Amino acid sequence: MSEWWKKSVVYQVYPLSFNDSNNDGVGDLKGIEEKLPYLSKLGIDVVWLNPIFESPLVDNGYDISDYEKILPKYGTMDDFLSLLKEAHKLNIKIILDLVVNHTSNEHRWFKESCKGKENPYSDYYIWKDPREDGSEPNNWGSTFGGSAWEYVPSRGQYYLHCFAKEQPDLNWDNPKVRQSIYKMMTKWFELGIDGFRMDVISLISKNPEYPNAPKEVPYTKSYYVGASNGPKVHEYLHEMNEKVLSEYDVMTVGETPNTTSKQALLYTNPNRKELDMVFHFDHMHLDYGKYGKFSDIKFKMSDLRNVLSKWQKDLAEGWNALYWSNHDQPRAVTRFGNDEKYRDKSAKMLATLLHFMKGTPYIYEGEEIGMKNVPFDSLNDYRDIETKYFIEDLRNNSEPEEYIRKCVYLKSRDNARTPMPWNGNEKEGYGFSNGKPWIKYSPDNKNINVEDALKNPNSIFYYYQKLIKLRKSMAIITEGDFKLLNKDDSDVFSYVREMEEKKLVVICSFASKKVNFELPKELVKHISNSRLIISNYDDSNLELPQKLPLCLRPFESLAYYIEE
């Protein structure tokens, strides 16, 4: 296969919030199709759509009740086929979200499975008898709160749900489950889709012992003890590859919580024939606190540098999926940059750092215009199941409301889920919808929106466009080896990509003040052969200055190409 995904940039569309064509307050497939020219202008190669399938939307579509039907709010199968066709005409590929660790409790398989042990779907899910005292089979908690086990009187048993109780886990040890999934995947590939993003795929194989989690493990993640990177996960993914994926020229990206870079290599080493790349969480964990994600801690740049460079090194034989944000994370510029005075500069700096590392970059909708976290007026404005649980949990722990509000503002998934602002006009629903949106608009839309970005030749949008164009014209961006520079600098993250005699030197400041940067000696001698290919300050020197050290301005980023 051609490995086209190595040269691609992926754009993630959150269908609920992208563009509403029929004014019911919810984005839809026709709305996405309308915006294909915008995506084409940005230059991206692939669109990843979050789940578009039939679902009761307990977890915004990650609870699927029918894998083969389109959620009516999003449109029809014809709408999907039309979107796919129009995207392909513009050379944009479409990948869908494969959510097969669990289904919705409204899926037919689950309804049948609940009926009893004789039912043909009986073993489609993970059922366990109560302990002698009638309690849950073990002490695992679920991601969205409460026990990971739910009792069903009709079976006199508990079923496992690592997420909400409306998201029962499928039993991958049952070959019929795997066959049903492969059949469904094949149907979508036959319709012409270009790949899958695989939801929490590192959780599909469970430890048959179902061991209790040690007390010190945070409750909402305690199921990791027996559910992440389980004994057969690689066997199953290899089987999936053999039976389905290898038949098509497609891309796969696995979402792999609780996975180290060494384990990630097992998923992505091409010789093993499993997945093309995986999303890891190590850089997402740098600002976690005692309640996990919901904290007001700020990441340390040196930790970020250690984590990202470690993944670059450890996945040299595999492939990285590069991202700052997605529908589960706050906005990148708020979290890793400076979303006030230096919003423009820091958004561009972050883009530079990410897009020049080795791997496939992912842009989350709105990142390309520098959208930032959303200060909702009231905690009641939040819609997300995870956020609601944490508000309750922090309240139960008597945390002050001010602290809760701060953590939610910094970390809620809803920060990334407000509708795309296509223009700055509130009366027009910011170009998203003429109906009442399913979630409030960001109050920043007046100043941060697509229309303004497209009018300004120096906007973040055009900066992303330029980065994407560079990727297309310079092989070193895809293929060059990664080497970290200046490991001890406290403000500047710098690295070099190397291919044959060529080098791409990337220098990114995370400081909101001016800082000096010492170029490593081995690079100084190449100065005369260098060319500045992109910078977030338009008056940056075109050649690496003779005068060293470099004085970097706040959040300045520079990328020099050296050809010998």
C-beta of 167: minimal distance to ligand GLC in Å?
6
Whichever of 385 and 492 has its CB closer to ligand GLC, that residue is 385
Tell me how far apart the alpha carbons of residues 441 and 423 are, in angstroms, rounded to a whole number: 12
C-beta of 99: minimal distance to ligand GLC in Å?
6
How far does CA 99 lie from the centroid of its chain?
14
Which residue has its beta carbon closest to ligand GLC? 62
Tell me how far apart the alpha carbons of residues 464 and 368 are, in angstroms, rounded to a whole number: 6
Contacts of 279 (CB under 8 A, 6+ apart): 253, 254, 255, 256, 321, 323, 326
Tell me how far apart the alpha carbons of residues 431 and 410 are, in angstroms, rounded to a whole number: 26
Compute φ and ψ for 20, nearest 5 degrees: -100, 110
Point out the catalytic residue in the list 45, 169, 255, 344: 255
266, 317 Cβ separation under 8 angstroms = no
Tell me how far apart the alpha carbons of residues 204 and 564 are, in angstroms, rounded to a whole number: 49
Cis? peptide before 15, omega within 30° of 0: no
- Angle, to 10 degrees, between the axis of helix 233-243 and the axis of helix 175-191? 40
> Which tokens go with 86?
């129009």
C-beta of 104: minimal distance to ligand GLC in Å?
10
C-beta of 504: minimal distance to ligand GLC in Å?
32
199 is catalytic: yes
Question: Within 13 Å of residue 261, how many CA atoms lie on the same side as its CB?
Answer: 18
Tell me how far apart the alpha carbons of residues 168 and 148 are, in angstroms, rounded to a whole number: 9
**Residue that has been written with the tokens 């919030």 in this structure:** 17
Whichever of 255 and 368 has its CB closer to ligand GLC, that residue is 255
Footprint on this chain of ligand GLC (rule: CB under 6 A): 59, 62, 99, 163, 199-200, 255, 327-328
CA distances from 202 to 198, 318, 419 (A): 9, 16, 30
Whichever of 150 and 556 has its CB closer to ligand GLC, that residue is 150
Whichever of 52 and 200 has its CB closer to ligand GLC, that residue is 200
Strands 66-70, 93-98: pairing kind: unpaired
C-beta of 395: minimal distance to ligand GLC in Å?
22
C-beta of 71: minimal distance to ligand GLC in Å?
15
351, 467 Cβ separation under 8 angstroms = yes
Point out the catalytic residue in the list 59, 79, 97, 199: 199
Closest CA to 561 of 460, 493, 473, 458: 473
β-pair partners for 492 = 509
Whichever of 61 and 554 has its CB closer to ligand GLC, that residue is 61
Whichever of 327 and 343 has its CB closer to ligand GLC, that residue is 327
* 3-class secondary-structure state, position 372: coil
Residue 176 parent element (H or E): helix 175-191
Residue 195 parent element (H or E): strand 195-198
C-beta of 418: minimal distance to ligand GLC in Å?
16
C-beta of 340: minimal distance to ligand GLC in Å?
28
Whichever of 110 and 356 has its CB closer to ligand GLC, that residue is 110
β-pair partners for 158 = 128, 151
C-beta of 126: minimal distance to ligand GLC in Å?
16
Sign of the CA dihedral with 331 first, then 412, 404, and 256 last: negative
Cα Rg of the chain, angstroms? 24
* 3-class secondary-structure state, position 108: helix
Contacts of 319 (CB under 8 A, 6+ apart): 6, 268, 276, 277, 359, 360
Whichever of 150 and 199 has its CB closer to ligand GLC, that residue is 199
Whichever of 226 and 429 has its CB closer to ligand GLC, that residue is 226
Catalytic positions are 199, 255
